[in-house]
Every structure is written in structure tokens, then in C-alpha cells.
Structure 1
Amino acid sequence: MTADGLLKFLEVIQEEAGATIETAEKILNSVKRLQKGFDIDQFFHYLLSDQNNAFNTKVHHDMSAPLAHYFIFTGHNSYLTGNQFSSKSSDKPIVKALKEGVRVIELDLWPNSNKNDIKVCHGRTWTSPVKLIKCLKAIKNNAFVTSKYPVIITFEDHLDANLQAKVAMMVKQTFGDMLFCPESDLNEFPSPECLKGRVMISTKPPKKYSKSGSVIKRHSIKETSFATNGLSSTHGSHHLHADVLEGDDEESTTEYKKLIAICASKLKGSMKNLPSHDHKVTRLSMSEETLKLSINSHGRELIRLTQRSFLRVYPKGSRITSSNYNPFTGWMHGAQMVAFNMQGYGKYLWIMQGMFRANGCCGYLKKPAFLLGDGNYDEVFDPMALPVKKTLKVNIYMGEGWRTDFHFRHFDFCSPPDFYTKVSIVGMPCDCTRAKKTHKIDDQWVPTWNGNEFKFQLRFPELALLRVVVRDHDPAGEDGFGGQTCLPISELKTGFRSVPLYDHRGDKYKNVRLLMGFNFI
């Protein structure tokens, strides 16, 4: 195949409108050695290479809108290496998350045993601590390795005024000019484009005390407590003593407050008061359980809130094993920060990772138009109210790489694996489907399905993912796991495409991949 032949393939079969003869020659030069064109083996090598990827690898969304108009890749308890109760706290999970494109890092701040320094740990558990300064340095050194767009650090603060002052000093010394510290409360958040290379702090402001100097009564500070028609949900109570602020303490608290770019606040009264936050921008937090209670009667208000302010959703407290929840419950109601245990596992983590492979893995995705305007939200959540926008046709041709990445007895002791592939849609409820699967290929390390075809009708392709899982059939027990991926449908390229697969925790296999075909009809 010559450069002219490859160009025709790119234009007609792959539907790459921007392809040029220079594009074709660059591909040829990267694969061939001395020949003037592709032979069949080299063309096959190209089809399964990263050069023939399934979606756009560059940032291409409009990044000039206010920050609240984006879904943001968000971590929960970002310092934990394992479970929520007894695992080790470390800066390593923070580094890993940032390199994967996570843009919101959460740190729980507690006084150490001597009350003279700050430790980061999951309070009132057996998790071991890590020093705050170590976490801050890890963030500084890795914040913009994968993405140049802003990093947001959320503090869950359990400190007195003196230690808050120490935090302020550490943060300023560590990040310097990287910090974005607005001089006054914001009426609208800046855009990701304006905040490139910047670090933002989000936490609740220091407590206010009476000017008379009297001690305010001991009370409970709760991360979130939303009342919904008499129902409430909380995420632990952290009891703090309120101390008198005098002189230097008051000045120290002011320095801490100056750091806050995104102020965390509480909802006053019931969910009906959500629109009252329209006059200022802020961040509200609620558990996954509270979100489910709230959307039944106040889904419209939640969407309206998230057009200007941030909504952060976090895992319920019973997820001790660091499992996760369905992120679409938050996304479909506009929640920008759907916080996940990135050290966790399972299909919901795969969905989160797949979602944020979009837009060049930069950690920011522009929200769909129906979440940003004054549309008819009743139609959005009525599966029969809107027409089908697109039909996605998926073909599965073959796979390779297992023999290289796995031990030859990993799947079956005496024979090669019996692979099959399952595909499904995850997204808005009206688009979700049950898994469809290919036929089983017996005893093959390089299975060939010859274009098994599946079709999916989509009403919200902009908020849908194609979930792909490969398994090894085991007639005597549970089918073995051969890899997975989740592909953002709004990003898919048409034609024959190479689709790399990932392991249980979302780490990419070195060689395992599928050759698939995508077309919209």
C-alpha cells in the first residue's frame, strides 16, 4: 500500500476528514523500514497500533466557560492506599491519581498527637497518617504532568486557628505563584483555560466567633447535612472545641481564609432553598445516599444550582473497602465533583476512568447543553420523551496480546483460552442496555470474531459510554477476566480502530487490545 492508497483508506473507510498525504506518509514512515509502502503485515500492525486509536487524544472541548460548566475528575480520600479503615496513608496514591489525570485531590487535616503539626489521615480509624507537607510537595511536583488544567485541593479541616495558620504558611511556601487566591468572593468561577497551571484550595472558611470574646458552646461540625422533606443524611460528625480568637489568632485565621478559592458551604434549610445560592458561587457536598433522596423531588433545583456553583458527591460511609457507586447519578444532575476512591476497583471505577479519557485526558469535560440551559428537565428524564439521536454500530473483529501479557497457564492449565467479548451502553437510564456478547472462540490466544455486529440506539450520546469486557469461558466455574475498557461515545472515531484493554484496577495492559469497528447510522 502506497501513501496514496493509505490516504484513500483514511478518508473513505476511517472518515478522517483532516487526513492529508503528509499524514499518510508519516504513518508509513513510522511503520515500514526500507519498503516504499505497506505490506500486509505492516498494515495489520498499523491497524492494531496506538496510531489508529479509537478517539481523539487531544483537548478539543471549549475550555473558556466558567469552571462550574465542567465535570471534573475527582478523588476521595486521595491519600489512602487501600480500605477506609486500616490502610496506610501515603503520598503515592496522590501521585498516581494526578498522573492519571485526576484534578481534585482531597486531604483530611488533623492535629498530630502533640498538637503542633498537621497530619493527613482518615479520622477516627486505624489508618496510619502521612505528613501534610509531604502531600503538598507531591501535588506540586506532579500536578501538571498529565494535564495543564487547574488542580483543586479540598481540605476536610479539623484544626484550630494556630494549625490553620501553619497550613496557610505551608501552602503558600509550597505553591507560591501557582496558587489562585481571589481577593474577594467570586460571582462566577474563572474558566479552566484562564486557570492553567494554577492550584486552588477549597474548604470551609474559618469559624466566626463573637466579637466579645466569649466562648461559643461546643458543637458538632458535619461535612454535610441536607434535609429533604424531613429526611436527612450525614457523613460522620466531627466534634471540635470553639476557642476564643484574640489578636494573632484572628490574624492567622484571616491568612487561612485568603487561601480559599472555592468556599465550601452548607445548605440553609431544606432543598427548596437551593436556588437561593444563585447570588454567589460556592461548593456544596452531599453523600451518594443524600443525592438519591434529593433528586426524587428536587432534581430540577440541583441542575440549576450546578450551572453556577459546585456540587460534590462522595461515597457513603459504609464503603469501608473503598468501593464506589454509579457516577451517572451525579453527572446526570450536573454534579461536577463526583468523588471516587481511586485506589478502589470494579465496574464503576472503570466507568469513571473511561469517562475522563475523553478530551485528551485533561480531567475536565464540558457538560452537555441540557445541563447548562433552561431546558425542559422533565423531558430529560422521560425515556420516551426524546427521539433517538444516533445509532451506534459496533463490530468486533479480533484481539491479540494475551499470550504476551499473561502466563500461558493463566486462563486454562492445559489449553489456550476460550475468549468472548461483551459490550453494553452505560449512561442516562434511557440509553443503558444489557450486555450483548460475541460467540466464544475456542482454544485461541488470538481470537477472531469476523465482525460480530451490535447496534445501540442513543438519546444522549454526549453522556454515554461503550463498556467492553473480554472473558475466558470456563465451563467448570467463573469465567476468567481478559480485560476491559469504557469508551466515551461522543469521542469515538469511525472505521477500524485499535482498542487497548485495561486490568481490574484500570491499569493499561502493555499489549492486549481489540480490533473493533465503529459507525454511526
Structure 2
Amino acid sequence: MTSLPESSIVEQLPPSSVSVAPVAQSSSTTDATVPPLLQVGVPMIKVSAKKQKRYLFRLDADQGQIIWQSKKLRFIPIENIKELREGADARYYREQFQLAQEYEDRWLTIVYVLDGGYKTLHLISATRDIFQLWDVTLRRLYSIRQQLMSGLVSADMRQAVWEKQFWKGADDEQDQRLDFDDVERLCRRLNINPSREDLQRRFKQADSQNRGYLDFGDFKRFVKHLKARPEIDRLYKKHVNGAEGMTFAAFEQFMQTSQKSSLSRVELEHIFLRYAFCPNGKAPGSPPQTSLDLAMQSISIAKEAGPQSSLPSAESPPGTATTASSTSVPSVDDALMKLSGFTAFLLSADNSVFADQHGRTYHDMSRPLPEYFISSSHNTYLVGHQLVGESTIEGYIRALLHSCRSVELDIYDGDTEPTVYHGRTLTSKVSVRDACAAIAKYAFVASPYPIVISAEIHCSVPQQEQLVEIMKEVFGDALVWAPVDGRPKIDALPSPEDLKGRVLLKAKNLYVVEGQAVSEKEVGVETESSTSTDTSASDSDVAAELKQEWRKARQNEAELIRDLKSEFKKARGALNRVRSPGAQKVASQSVPQSPPPSGQPAKPKVKMSMELVSLLVYTVGVKCRGINKKEEYAPEHIFSLSENTANKLLKQGMMDLIKHNRTHLVRTYPKGTRIGSTNYEPHRYWSAGCQLVAINWQTFDLGYMINHAMFQRNGRAGYVLKPLALRSSDKQLLARRTKHLLNITIISAQQLPRPKDSQGREIIDKSIVDPFVEVSIHIPDWTHSPFLPEKTADAYSPPTAGNIVEATSARTVTCRTGVVKNNGFNPVWEQQICLPFDLVGDMKDLVFVRFSVKQENKEDDEPLAVYCASLGSLNLGYRHLPLHDGQLSQYLFSTLFVRIDIQDA
């Protein structure tokens, strides 16, 4: 291990900064400002695979950025951070860079998203005290940004953070004043292009003392007018109906009629009192945050506990988060909701568009495993290309922290221990021990429910035994295993609740797969007979280019396949010891009982360790022999289907697959020609009841987005209960087909993001965004074409400015609004879109809606912002959608204001 000279860091620090008082890891703090030392910046060593170099790093709380100067000014927006790792949690990288253990307690790794991909920043601080100062402060700032994005803060706090951020960005000279040119540049940054005359008028109105510049107080007046929401004003007046404010009766009617709320009167009273004003003018549920400094005082810096706040939350009863001056909670009869309170409510978590968030509702987790969709990944070890990408533990960490519950290992012989990589490709390798250690550490951070390791095992018997030893050592009591002899018969699979905190291995049991060839997945190819009829031209081109390499690979495997075929005929003794009764019945029909002809040489034994077989308990991999009454599978038998094979099964007999999936697990995975790690659309296979629909988590495309939307539900546990129609044997449920219209009014957007360069900097030029909104509805394969009303009557209202865009497939209907010119700050459309869709068995959970904000004449570019959710998890009524970038990182202030309604056709 390499040691860096301490003088390379310490000698560059000012004397006062070498020793810093330790920061207590308490659950709350009153000193929440960024320490001056971190504002000025401290030298730290930036470590990469190629070099270690010292830079000055500083924290800007107002801008929400980590900043350092290399060849260019670099920065990381704090809201883009995905994870902070310190010490032992980052040991993998320290050892990879061959640096000494002495740096471990001063090591900080920051994982963030920028320019369409994950990136890491590795830092070593000069002293332990400086490290603690950085770690605590950064986590606190990160907590603030997370609460802002989740809507768990007051409108005052949100406004205060926004004002500080944009004031700091506009005040280039740091002289605490903005002249007219500064304000004009600010408007361009805010994506708004008012006429010069209009801007001068607004500037003069804000310049209360007629000084020719705006101080911070003037600036707040200026942006208050700029951020006015006339569309909310109109909605408020409609429900107030001329009164001085919104009474509880008016609020209750709004919630029941417009918002389709099912909350009780008591629950509505609690919400009303959070945003209503007492006769004395004070808001009982609104803390007095007026600046970022005050806002930060309520944020916890504890790392183990979640961020705590004195701010009112959706779960808090009225009066528990009152201000210091509030001594009692008023009656709903005495309170009124003013426009500011109504606006704050519409933007809050109490009015979230997502119906299944913040752990408010959990699914029943006591049902057998086959009754759940399970968040699954494909080639988890890869973070890029299928042929030349990098194998790393990072893929496991990212997936597990996002509640993925099934990860994949492709295991081959290594020099001393088994290794993981994509066989017969140029991908790099990672040791099985490192991969298992990463899985063990992060398995249950985001979810307590079981992990399924889907393994393709290509290594020799001795290294199979090593694999078992490694797994037992690393996973300990969490690993599910059972002796091969004397196992009781399994009648049904256990539930996620039964298997909490457990790790299951899924791999092919070669003793059970008797008389059958190794699957195409095992030899790294797909047979021509399994090629899907809907393969795209590009996939065909890629397949042609790789055909020669695949032919060589198949020839190399041919001898092994012949050995296995012949060996299965000699394995009856072993089969009787390990097979379940159901499998024995199948084997007695399919394995010849007669001895081999005299003179025939003895066949080699099955190349599978019995120790490895002991790990296959509830997830025993077998080859799919077809799905019909002739074939019988034990409850623990699970087979994997390539995308092409699954497509054929969907066409041949979707109902047979649905029936099989009620009691058995099935895994699907992307076809081999997706060498760029693109994804299929997972809801196609969910609609047939497939549980482990594996996707490439390193690719942020539509398939990833739909998968992310599905598993945001159920408290992000990674398990979602399947719709009743896919779990019940009642055939009438699947026979029920209904037609509906999704009516969405796109009202307005707030602070749309500007396009950014590769360094994450906003591209600020003279052009202003001309935005429009495209809404797509994605329907599973239960329909051959999108349902359209027979008559274009009142039931169907196409957009008045825009047109139905040709569907990308038979399962997608898309519609778009008109364009708003020169305004990406607060564009208003107030335009209705109507999207027809059909349902089978009322399975709204499997229909997905995607909102994309795009620019005129740049329709083919990546959208400015997106939001995707299942139809079953969308609340109806007036809602603000949180907007995300193409990597599904949420923007801090960008929202889309819509009204959502569903009607029967």
C-alpha cells in the first residue's frame, strides 16, 4: 500500500485550520451555518486511479454546491449527490488505488450524477477533525435539499432557499446589490424573457428607495412578483366565492369534488389547520422560516437517523409543529385559509400526486413470493457496455441502495478464487468475494426484504466449493441453505415477511435439469429459433456482426454439452437423493432406466458441487420445458426466459404463463443483442405475472423509468403485491375488459431547468426555452392496438393546439400541448389532453403515464424534464408533479401543475 506524504496536505493549511474542534454527532444542532473554514476552502487530496493531487475544496450553502478549481472551475450540485461513503464504506476504492489503511478514517467518497452518468469523487482530508467537519456539514446540507424536493418543508423555507441561491448567483461582484444589467442576466438564467420595458417597470417597482439597484430586500420583492401564480389565484377565487378566505367547508368540498379525496373529516381538519390562519393572523402549523439560516436550524445532522425537523409533516397532528408563539390550536370554525396557505398546500406533501409514498401505505407482505413483483437487475456487475464495459461492485451498491432485490452474478474460474465478469467478452473482472461483500453490506440498507442472487455458474467444481465457502463466510446466518439429504417437501414458497433479512441463491441445479442441454443463456448465445419476430433492424445488424464470434463460442461449448447430456443418464442415484417428489415424478418419465450398453466407457460425473446444491432451497434453477399440463414443476423451481423467448410465450399462450406465475417464480432478462445495455419495457412481462423482470440499471431509458416508477411504491421495499387479477384463480377477473379516458389538463410549469453542458453548468445564452409538454400512456400487451373512441364526441377531446403523435407501438398513445414562446420560468398552457386506454381486470398498476417537457424544434433531444408513474399510484385532481432529469434525479424547484381525471368511455 502506498503512503502519501502528510506534508503534501498539512503544510498547505493555515495554522488555525490544522486542528479543528470535533463536531458532535448529535441529533440536532443550533449552529447550522457552514463553518467559515469550509466557506473559504481547505486543501484536500483528490484521489483517482491515475493520480493523487491537492485542490482547495469549499462549500457554498447558498448555491448548494461543492466547488474546487482544477484546470476549470468544477462543482457538484448537492442535490445531485446519490451517496456519501466514508472510511470502511469506501475501503474498496482505497484498496483499488493501493493506498495505505492510515487514510481510511479521513477518506470521503461522494457518489453523484452528472452529464448522464454516475461519477465518484474521492477525497482525503488532512486531519480527522477536518474530515468530521466536512462530513457533518455536507450531510446536513444534503438533508435540506432532500426535504425541499420531497415537499416536507414549509413554503417559507422553500422560498428562502430559492432566494438565497439565485441572489448569490446573480450578485457576481458580491457587493450586495444588483443593477439592471444583473437583473437582466438573472432573468435569462431563470429562463424568462420579458420585454425590456416590462423588466424596467418591474425593476423600478422593486427599487423602493429609487437608488438604481436592488438590495436583498428589494430582490425579494422583485421575485415575489415574478413568481406570481395567477392560475392558482383563479382556482382559489373559484372556491372562496367572494369570501375573505377559504373556510373549512369550502376546503372540504374542494377535496372531495376536485381532489377525489377519501380522507375522513378529522383527517381533512388536521390538514386544513396546517395551512389556515387564526383570527390573530398567525398560521398555527407554519414555522417562521424566513431565511436559509433559520431553515437550517431545524435540520438534524445525525447520519444514522433520518433527517428530523420541526417542520410540520403529513403525518403530524395539528398543533405538534406550532411556532413558539402558538399556545393553542384554533377550531376549524375560527380559521381561514388565505391564498398563500392554499398555494403552500397545493405544493406540499399533503397534496402529493403520488398516492403511495413516505411509507403511509404498505402492501401485505405475508403472501407467498410468487404473488409479488420483485425489483430485479441484469448483469448487475456492469456499469456500461455489455461487451467492453467495466465490472465493478459499484453496480451492486447502486442497485441495492435503490431497493433492487435481485442481483446477478456471472461466475467463472479465477486465478485463486472465483471471479465475476461477462463471459466471452472484453469486460473487466471483479472477485466474487468483493461482490458478495458489497451485497452483504448494502443488502438491507434500503429494504429489509430478501435478496435473490441470480447466479450463472461456469466455474469448476473446486471453485464452486470455494464459492460456497465465500458465501457462507460473507453472508453468515443471512444465507439460506439446507442439507441435501432429508429435505422436507416444499408445498408453497415462503413470503417476503418470512424471509426478511435473508439472502437466497438462485442457480441451475444440474442434477434436476436431467437429460436437457445447457440453456442458451449459459453458453452466451440465443438460438435462431428463439429470435423474436419483432427484432429491430439494428438488432439484426448487431447479431450479424457477432455471429462469427458466437459460432466459435458455441463450438467451444459443444463438447461440454455432449458430456452433460450423456452424464444425465448416469445420474439416477444422485437424483433420488436430492430431488423433490415432484421432480422425481418428472425424472421417472424422462430418464431412461436401463443401464448403458456393455463396453460403453463410464460417463463423467455431473460437474456440480453438492455443497453448491445445498444453497439451492427456494430458488432452484431449471430449464423451461414448456408451460402446459404435461409439464410439472416443483414450487421451488424457477426458470429464466430471454426477452425473445418470453415474447414467444406471450404470443402462444399468455394465460398459461399467468397461471404458472401464480405459484412459481419466473425471471426474464434482456436479449443478447442489446449490447448497449438498453432495456425492454418491463410492464409487458409484469402483465403476464412474471416476478423477476430484470433490467439494466446502468441505462436510463424508458424501461428503466417504468421500472423505477413501479418500485417507488410500497415504501420502496423492492416488492410490490401483484394485482388481484394476476393472483386469483377467478377467471372472471381477467375476462373483465373496460375502456377509459385519461383527462389531463396541463396548467403550468414552474422554473423549468435550462439545458446544461457536460460539466453540469447551465447553458445561458440569448435563447430562451420554448417549452411544450408531451404525455404518453404505456399499456401492456393485453391490447392489439390503442383503444380509440368510436366517435369523436364529448367523451374525447383532442388538443386544440397540437395533435396526436403516431404511437411508437401498439401499446403507446401520445399527445402534446402547444408551445409557449420565450418562457421556461412560469409558462402557462391551461390545455386539456385526452388519452384513451383499456384495462384488463382493472389493473391500473400496470399502465404507466409519462410526462416529458420538451423544447420546440428539439423534439428528438433529451427532454428538459420528465415524470413517470403508474396510473394506479396517481392521485386525481390538482397536483404539482416533481420533475426529474434524464437520470431521474429530481430538480430542486421545477414542477408541473396539472389536473388529472379518469372517466369511463
TM-score range, shorter chain: 0.7 to 0.9
1:147 to 423, 427, 447: 447
Please state how far the C-alpha of 1:420 moved relative to its aligned partner.
0.9
Q: Summarize the alignment of residues 443-462 of structure 1 with structure 2, pairs less than 5 Å apart.
A: 443-445=822-824, 446-450=826-830, 452-460=832-840, 461-462=844-845
For 1:507, the equivalent position in structure 2 comes to 889
- State the identity as a percent: 26
**C-alpha deviation, 1:108, in angstroms:** 0.7
User: How large is the Cα RMSD of the aligned pairs?
Assistant: 3.7
Higher-Rg member (1/2): 2
2:347 corresponding residue in structure 1: 48
Structure 1 residues 30 and 274: alpha-carbon distance in aligned structure 2, compared to 1, 3 A threshold: farther
| 1:103, distance to aligned residue in structure 2 (A) | 1.0
Q: How does 1:6-405 map to 2 (within 5 A)?
A: 8=252, 10=255, 13-14=258-259, 15-18=261-264, 19-25=267-273, 31-33=286-288, 40-41=339-340, 43-54=342-353, 55-57=355-357, 58=359, 59-112=361-414, 114=415, 116-181=416-481, 184=487, 186-205=490-509, 222-223=520-521, 231-232=529-530, 239=557, 253-261=609-617, 262-268=619-625, 271=626, 273=628, 276-376=631-731, 386-388=737-739, 390-403=740-753
Residue 43 of structure 1 deviates from its aligned partner by: 3.8
Q: Which amino acid in structure 1 is aligned with residue 464 of structure 2?
A: Q
Quote the residue 1:486 is aligned against: 868
Give deviations 1:59-83, integer Å, cap 9, x for gaps: 4322221101111111000010101
Query: Could you tell me the TM-score, scaled by structure 2's length?
Result: 0.50
**Helix, strand or coil for the counterpart of 1:105?**
strand
- Which residue number in structure 2 is paired with residue 213 of structure 1? none
Q: Deviations over 1:101-131 (max 9, x none)?
A: 211101111111x2x2011111111110111
Q: For residues 679 and 391 of structure 2, what CA distance do their matches in structure 1 show? A: 19
Matching residue's letter, 1:323: T
Aligned with 1:135: secondary structure? Answer: helix
2:848 corresponds, among 440, 458, 465, to 465
Higher relative strand content: 1
Aligned-residue offset at 1:286: 1.3
SS in 2 for 1:484: strand
8 Å CA contact 1:354–1:485 kept in 2: the answer is no
Distance 2:644 2:629 in 1: 18
Contact 1:496–1:515 at 8 Å: present in 2 too? yes
Moved more, 397-406 or 139-148: 397-406
User: Is 173-182 or 85-94 further displaced after alignment?
Assistant: 173-182
Q: Distance in 2 between matches of 1:23 and 1:451?
A: 29
Partner amino acid for 2:635? K
CA distance in structure 1 between the partners assigned to 2:831 and 2:262 by the alignment = 21
Query: Judging changes above 3 Å, is the alpha-carbon distance between structure 1 residues 457 and 205 closer, same or farther for their aligned structure 2 residues?
Result: closer
Give the whole-Å Cα distance in 1 for the aligned partners of 2:668 and 2:607.
Answer: 33
Structure 2: distance between partners of 1:466 and 1:30: 34
For residue 455 of structure 2, give the secondary structure of its aligned residue in structure 1.
Answer: strand
Distance 1:168 1:272, change over 3 A: closer
**How far apart in 2 are the matches of 1:378 and 1:402?**
43
**Following TM superposition, by how much is the alpha carbon of 1:276 offset from its aligned partner in structure 2, in angstroms?**
2.4
Deviation, structure 1 residue 511: 2.9
Give, in angstroms, the shift of residue 233 of structure 1: 5.9
Q: Quote the Cα distance in structure 2 between the aligned partners of 1:515 and 1:203.
A: 48
Q: CA deviation at 1:341?
A: 0.6
Q: In the TM superposition, what is the alpha-carbon distance from 1:297 to its structure 2 partner?
A: 2.0
The whole-number CA distance in structure 1 between the counterparts of 2:767 and 2:817 is 21
The answer to whether the 8 A contact 1:322-1:341 is kept is yes
The CA deviation at 1:320 is 0.6
Query: Are residues 1:441 and 2:817 paired?
Result: no
Shift of 1:20: 4.2
1:422 to 774, 779, 784: 774
Structure 2 vs 1, CA of residues 16 and 404 (structure 1 numbering), >3 Å: closer, same or farther? farther
Q: Which amino acid is 1:141 matched to?
A: K
Instruction: Specify whether residues 502 and 2 from structure 1 end up closer, same or farther in structure 2 by C-alpha distance, changes over 3 A only.
Output: same
Would the aligned equivalents of 1:162 and 1:252 in 2 still touch at CA under 8 Å? no
Label 1:401 to 1:6 Cα distance change in 2 as closer, same or farther (>3 A). farther
8 Å contact kept, 1:483–1:501: yes
> How many residue pairs are counted as aligned between the two chains?
498
Deviation of the 1:45 alpha carbon: 4.0
Counterpart Cα distance in 1 of 2:664 and 2:512: 23
Deviation at 1:458, TM superposition (A): 3.7
Partner letter of residue 436 of structure 1? C
SS in structure 1 at match of 2:744: strand
Structure-2 separation of matches of 1:95 and 1:16: 39
* Deviation readout 1:110-153 (Å, 9 max, x if unpaired): 111x2x20111111111101111211121122122222221111
Amino acid at match of 1:174: V
* Contact 1:80-1:87 at 8 Å conserved across structures: yes
Q: What's the counterpart of residue 18 of structure 2?
A: none
Q: Within 2, Cα distance between the matches of 1:209 and 1:504?
A: 43
Return closer, same or farther for 1:30/1:258 CA change in 2, 3 Å cut-off. farther
Which has the higher mean CA deviation after the structures are superposed, 73-82 or 299-308? 299-308
- Cα distance change, pair 60–3 in 1 and its aligned pair in 2 (3 A): farther
Distance 1:491 1:208, change over 3 A: closer
Q: Which amino acid aligns with 2:609?
A: T
3-state secondary structure, aligned to 1:168 = helix
Higher RCO (CA 8 Å, separation ≥ 6 residues): 1
Please tell me whether the aligned partners of residues 101 and 363 of structure 1 are also in contact (alpha carbons under 8 angstroms): yes
Letter in 1 for 2:746: I
The aligned counterpart of 1:413 is: 765
Amino acid corresponding to residue 386 of structure 1 in structure 2? R
- Which has the larger share of helix? 2
Give, in whole Å, the separation in 2 of the partners of 1:511 and 1:170.
47
CA, structure 1 residues 20+415, in 2 after alignment: closer, same or farther (shift >3 Å)? same
Distance (Å, rounded) in 2 between the aligned partners of 1:12 and 1:51: 17
Counterparts of 2:263 and 2:854 in 1: how far apart (Å)?
35
Cα distance in 2 between the residues matched to 1:194 and 1:6: 47
Inter-partner Cα distance in structure 2 for 1:135 and 1:37? 58
CA shift for structure 1 position 12: 5.3
